[in-house]
Structure formats: structure tokens, C-alpha cells
């Protein structure tokens, strides 16, 4: 019987952790549809947090590549006084990046809902010869 109680406690703790994480994320980033993203991205910094190879294969026109794996070293390249539009392939990396930036004083943080995989707008890719 005590193993069931222990499993129940672990499950409750896990669910509480996930709930708090979701709440922190909701406070850190605003999800934008593709239409909303396009509507405001001329006045914002578009940051692709995918790795360089993914960025080179295709990215949103006007985006800069600051990979999430290098964000600790490079986040100061992103201006805190302008809106930050983040995206990655799905939303996992951009969500973690949003939390990271929020902790460092960034306030206007937005994320492309569904990530690059759902993008149907203009893209640019690096030419390979």
C-alpha cells in the first residue's frame, strides 16, 4: 500500500511542477499566430533560436540567428527596449529562451505559435554550391 502512496506523492509533485512551469511560461511569452507575427515583425527583432544548420536550410525573411545553445553568451545582442519575436522549429526552444530573457529584464517577448514548421510566409535559405 505504501508504494501507491509514494507514487501518488511523486505524481502530485510532478503535476505541480509542470503547472508552475506552464504558468511561468505564460507570464514570460505571448503566443502570436502567423498573421499577428507578420503584422508586427517589422517593428521587432526576429530571432531564430534554432541551430545554424537549421537556420541556413531556411528561415523567416529578416530573422537573425541566435541559437538557444549560445543564448547565455549572446543574449546581449538582443535589444531589451524593442519587441523580441522568437521562433524555433516547434516552440520548445523559443519558450525556454523566452523564460531566459524574461529573467534578464526583457519584457516584450513574443513567440510564433506552432513554430517554423507551421510557417507559410516568405523564407530565405542559404545558397549551397
Residue 102's region, left for phi above 0, alpha for psi from -120 to 50, else beta, is: alpha
| Each residue's pLDDT tens digit, 77-123 | 999 999 999 999 999 999 999 999 999 999 999 999 999 999 999 89
Domain ranges of the chain: 29-124
Rounded to whole angstroms, how far apart are CA atoms 91 and 104?
Answer: 20
pLDDT of residue 21 exceeding 90: no
Question: End-to-end distance of the chain based on CA atoms, in angstroms?
Answer: 66
Which residue would you say has higher pLDDT here, 9 or 106?
106
* Concatenated DSSP letters of 72-97: HHHGGGS-TTS-EEEE-SSSHHHHHH
| Each residue's pLDDT tens digit, 83-92 | 999 999 999 9
Rounded to whole angstroms, how far apart are CA atoms 62 and 44?
Answer: 10
Q: What is the CA radius of gyration of the chain?
A: 17
- CA 32-78-54 angle, 5° bins: 65
Domain 29-124, CATH? 3.40.250.10
| pTM of full prediction above 0.75 | yes
Amino acid at each position: 500500500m505504501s508504494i501507491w502512496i509514494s507514487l501518488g506523492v511523486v505524481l502530485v509533485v510532478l503535476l505541480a511542477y509542470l503547472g508552475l512551469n506552464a504558468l511561468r511560461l505564460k507570464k514570460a511569452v505571448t503566443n502570436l499566430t502567423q498573421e499577428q507575427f507578420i503584422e508586427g515583425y517589422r517593428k521587432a527583432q526576429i530571432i531564430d533560436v534554432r541551430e545554424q544548420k537549421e537556420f541556413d536550410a531556411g528561415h523567416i525573411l529578416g530573422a537573425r540567428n541566435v541559437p538557444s545553445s549560445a543564448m547565455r553568451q549572446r543574449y546581449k545582442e538582443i535589444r531589451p527596449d524593442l519587441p523580441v519575436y522568437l521562433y524555433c522549429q516547434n516552440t520548445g526552444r523559443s519558450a525556454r529562451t523566452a523564460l531566459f530573457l524574461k529573467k534578464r529584464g526583457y519584457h516584450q517577448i513574443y513567440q510564433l505559435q506552432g513554430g517554423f514548421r507551421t510557417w507559410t510566409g516568405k523564407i530565405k535559405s542559404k545558397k549551397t554550391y
